[in-house]
Amino acid sequence: MSDPIVVEHLTKHFEGKTAVSDVSFSLRPAEFLAVVGPSGCGKTTTLRMLAGLESVSSGEIRINGVKVNEIRPKDRNIAMVFQDYAIFPHLTVYENIAYGLRSRHVPNIVIRERVPEAARTFRIEHLLGRKPRQLSGGERQRVALARAVVREAELYLYDEPLSNLDAQLRHSAREDILALHRKFLRPSIYVTHDQSEAMALGDRIAVMRGGKLEQIGTPDELYSQPRNKFVAFFIGTPSINLFEVRLEAENLEWFAVHPAFRLRLPPRIVRKVGAYNAKKVIMGIRPEDFSTPKTAAFPVDEHNTVQGIVNVIEPMATGSTVYLSTAAQPAVDFAASFKVRLPAQYLGKTIPLAIHVEKLLLFDADTEESLLHGREEAHYAVSG
Amino acid sequence: MAQVQLDHVSMKYTGPDASVQPALHDVQLTLEDGETIAIVGPSGCGKSTLLKLIAGLETPTSGRVLYNGHDVTGTEPQQRGVGMVFQDYALYPTMKGKGNLSYFFEVHQRTEAEMEQHVREVSELMGVGFDVLLGQMPTTLSGGEKQRVAIARCIVRRPPVFLMDEPICNLDAKLRERTRIEMRRMLQKYRVTTVYVTHDQQEAIFMGDRIAVMRGGVLEQVGTFDELYFTPANRFVAEFIGTPPMVFLAVHKSSASLNLNGVGGWTLPADLAAQLPDGALLLGMRAESWAIGQGLAAHVSSIERIPTQQAAFVSGSLGAHRVHVLVPLDTPHTAQIQVMPQWDKAYFFEPTGERVLLTPAIPDLF
């Protein structure tokens, strides 16, 4: 079976500016794709082109093999959920949910069956007679979702549907969206600026920046094998810590050297960095790859530790996130996540931290591309 | 810097505004000198009204507002001299970043040297690149940059108390993360007494030395994260602090057996059974309160894997109840999962949820 949704070289120009530039991807049947990126990265424009709400400057969109570039939105058989819900204030909840069916001349007998069913899925069957202004934000959001499920579409699109909700509501709304997805198992695209939402929902995630698609992959791929510095930084909260280091080969061993530390690189990484001896590179360390020396799952020595001054301790249910600066000058800020609660008495103190060097990421200082991606180079030793 | 006290403060609105302005009922709160209190609660809980009372923008219907023990209830906002930072920045649009910071010193006729020193100190603390912002007009700054200037403008004049109303909710997630670290460090360094209003519990936990949870104009509980998380006063506080939110199961206790309607039961340890009354109870379970591999079968609907926490959350149902269960990151997706409360991590409430009966102790980790 070929991919139901195919986007090829999609480009959009607005008044001389390029909002979306040569974006290509495809969705498998029943796949849930989350699209993330900072404001202005082109993610919403991409979604709106798929929905037919924006024209396409060049490139092609195919839904189940049919090119839809020139097809009007209402003829595309797409269901969309908007950030501001876009429900009609003058219609009851029932009529809002029924709207898409009525406009497609679905017989009343079917509407009477489907509307309550969709309402039940989102626990709003008791609200069918109300007007939107009598509803809370969470309830309005569920009306918008019910309206999307009430009819079977070939593609479901979500434009930041949860960003107006309180944190506690967002969690249950996420489950509602997954429930909707499992009901029809149709391709879905979900746009958000919140990477944790994307990680929780997406089978795969597409990361965009400046109109370009930076990387597409499973949450785990993006997290552990980011293609470049931007993707590494964008995925994960707290963000990955980035340090400018110099690589040095010495007596068959390689080190990443920084005023605050001198880390011995593991063979997995050494095999990839042969061309970078005595060069500056960007090193990434995820906050969760720091630990207190006593709790480290590996032997700790001077070549995998760093001294940090504790600035802020954030308690979490699963431990704590600690924000530090390197003890060595110039001070560089970084974050470490612990499985235990760091007591407040350590505020302002200098503590040693063990670094899980197997998990380090390295990026070219100029191109910002990952050095660890792709083919392994032949390992050649450089004598010091 | 000042200690700020709200002494039995109530606020009632009458007339056309009554329905839109959240009231306050008998609020008692003391902010210690240099402390940051984060106020959280759903929309309409009265948190912004509380802020206006401290600033002097509203006068309470009854009760007193005290700064360092002095009654300022009738004092004008200008005389109180509080620093406020809002969602919408409110920078002087015709001045560059630096003008925004130094305006106060010009108005109050302080010396140029004093102004320069304060501005330099704050801009050093605000971190890399802040001095660049000082030379720019507000219209050319991004949202995050504007807010950094707005915050610096407040800090630079050393207000007795600093009031912040959702200052970073307009920023996108990554920028929020960085800005809140800057703010927290700055507040810690200057020890400014601060009230920080937010609807985001994680932000409240990050920013506050203590957290105050409000609902319907009532201060439900004030305490550290640990106090609220492990010893909530009632169901509302328990549900508000922690993600995924605590799940509440209506159970029935008869001697040592605890029954979940239509699903089955668990056996309580003897010492726990003795501490709880028989009859209807509300069992509060956090995702990490469950033990897996024994007990009742829960139907699994999805698994959310969170590599940054080295953990995964199972969402599922136990009979008609939705549950969230914390499991190891590599747990496979199965149709069912056996679950049982870890009794020392479970919470018990009266059936209404208004009063807590038993909570876990605050863990002693060191």
Residue of B nearest to A330 (CA): B128
Contact in structure between A112 and A128 (CB atoms under 8 Å)? no
Mean pLDDT of A254-273: 94
> Which of A86, A85, A93 is CA-nearest to residue A119?
A93
Q: Compute the average pLDDT of residues A363-379.
A: 77
Q: Which of A122-126, A340-344, B130-134, B257-261 has the lowest mean pLDDT?
A: B130-134
**Mean pLDDT score, A12-34:** 94
Both tokens of A319, joined, read: 């431990």
What pLDDT is attached to residue B262? 82
Angle made by CA atoms A118, A32, A85, in degrees to the nearest 5 = 45
What percent of chain A stands above pLDDT 90?
Answer: 64
pLDDT of B17 reads 60
Has residue A1 got a pLDDT over 70?
no
Q: Are strands A32-36 and A204-209 parallel, antiparallel or unpaired?
A: parallel
Give pLDDT, residue A378.
41
Q: What is the pLDDT of residue A192?
A: 93
Is A339's CB within 8 Å of B310's CB? yes
Mean pLDDT of A233-249: 94
Q: How far apart are CA B96 and CA B118, in angstroms?
A: 17
Which residue of A38, A171, A223 is in closest CB contact with B172? A38
Instruction: For residue A239, give the DSSP letter.
Output: P
Phi/psi of residue A371, nearest 5 degrees: -85, -15
A-interface mutation test, from B189, B198, B308, B309, most A Cβ less than 10 A away: B308
> How far from A8 is each of A19, A24, B294, CA to CA, in Å?
16, 4, 50
Which residues does B183 contact at the CB level (< 8 Å), separation at least 6? B151, B164, B167, B168, B207
Mean pLDDT computed over A78-97:
90
Which residues in chain B are contacts of A238 at CB distance < 8 A?
177, 308
A171 touches chain B (CB under 8 A): yes
> Each residue's pLDDT tens digit in chain B (366 positions)?
789 999 999 998 876 666 666 789 999 999 999 999 999 988 778 888 899 899 888 899 999 999 999 999 988 888 888 888 776 656 666 777 777 777 666 666 677 777 777 777 777 766 656 777 777 777 777 777 777 777 777 777 778 888 998 888 777 778 888 888 888 887 888 788 999 999 888 899 999 999 999 999 999 999 999 899 999 999 999 999 988 889 999 999 999 999 998 889 999 999 999 999 999 999 999 999 999 999 999 999 888 888 777 788 998 899 888 899 999 888 888 899 999 999 999 999 999 999 999 999 887 766
**Partner-chain contact A288 B307, CB within 8 Å:** yes
Q: Can you give the pLDDT at residue A383?
A: 37
Q: Between chains, do A219 and B305 touch, taking CB under 8 Å as contact?
A: yes
Residue pLDDT, tens place only, A34-62: 999 988 899 999 999 999 999 999 999 99
Cα Rg for chain A, rounded, in angstroms? Answer: 25
All residues of chain B having their beta carbon less than 8 Å from the beta carbon of residue A343 are: 365-366
How far, in Å, are A333, B18, B47, B55, B74 from residue B59 at the CA level? 43, 15, 15, 10, 7
Query: How far is the alpha carbon of A71 from chain B, nearest alpha carbon, in Å?
Result: 34
| Helix, strand, coil abundance in chain B, percent, nearest 5 | 30, 35, 35
Residue B347: closest CA among B243, B226, B253, B235: B235
Cα three-residue angle B334-B340-B341, rounded to 5 degrees: 130
Closest CB to A340 among B304, B310, B365: B365
In angstroms, rounded to a whole number, what is the distance separating the alpha carbons of residues B85 and B70?
Answer: 24
> Which of B225, B243, B286 lies closest to A167 in CB terms?
B243
Mean residue pLDDT across chain A: 90
* Least Cα separation, residue A83 to chain B (angstroms): 15
Alpha carbon distance, N-terminus to C-terminus of chain A: 56
Cα separation, A263 vs A268, whole angstroms:
14
CB-based contact A288 B310, cutoff 8 Å = yes
pLDDT of res. A382: 41
Q: What is the mean pLDDT of residues A316-324?
A: 87
- pTM of the predicted structure, to 2 decimals: 0.83
Among B42, B172, B305, beta carbon nearest to A166: B42
Closest Cα to residue B240, out of B280, B194, B207, B204?
B204
The DSSP element (H or E) to which A338 belongs, if any, is strand A333-338
Whose tokens are 């950030």? That residue is A83
Q: Which residues of B310-340 are buried (b: 16+ CB within 10 A; e: fewer)?
A: ebbbbbbebeebebbbbbeeebeeeeebebe
Chain B residues within 8 A of A337 when measuring between CB atoms: 308-309
CB contacts < 8 A, A to B, total: 107
Which helix H or strand E contains A336, and what residues bound it?
strand A333-338
Please answer yes or no on whether A317 and B184 come within 8 Å at the CB atom.
no
What pLDDT shows up at residue B129? 66
Contact residues, chain A, for B304 at CB < 8 Å: 200
Where are the extended beta strands (E) located within chain B? 4-11, 24-31, 36-40, 62-67, 70-71, 83-85, 161-165, 193-198, 210-215, 218-223, 247-254, 257-260, 264-267, 279-285, 290-306, 311-318, 321-328, 336-341, 347-349, 356-358
Query: Do residue B172 and residue A39 have CB atoms under 8 angstroms apart?
Result: yes
Q: Are B363 and B230 in contact (CB under 8 A)?
A: yes
CB under 8 A, 24+ apart: contacts of A317-325: A317/B229, A317/B242, A317/B243, A317/B286, A317/B287, A317/B288, A318/B288, A318/B309, A318/B311, A318/B326, A321/A238, A321/A287, A323/B181, A323/B184, A323/B185, A324/A351, A324/A353
Distance from CA of A193 to the nearest CA of B (A): 7
Q: What does the pLDDT look like over A274-293, one tens digit per residue?
A: 899 999 999 999 999 999 99
Contact A317 B181 (CB under 8 A): no
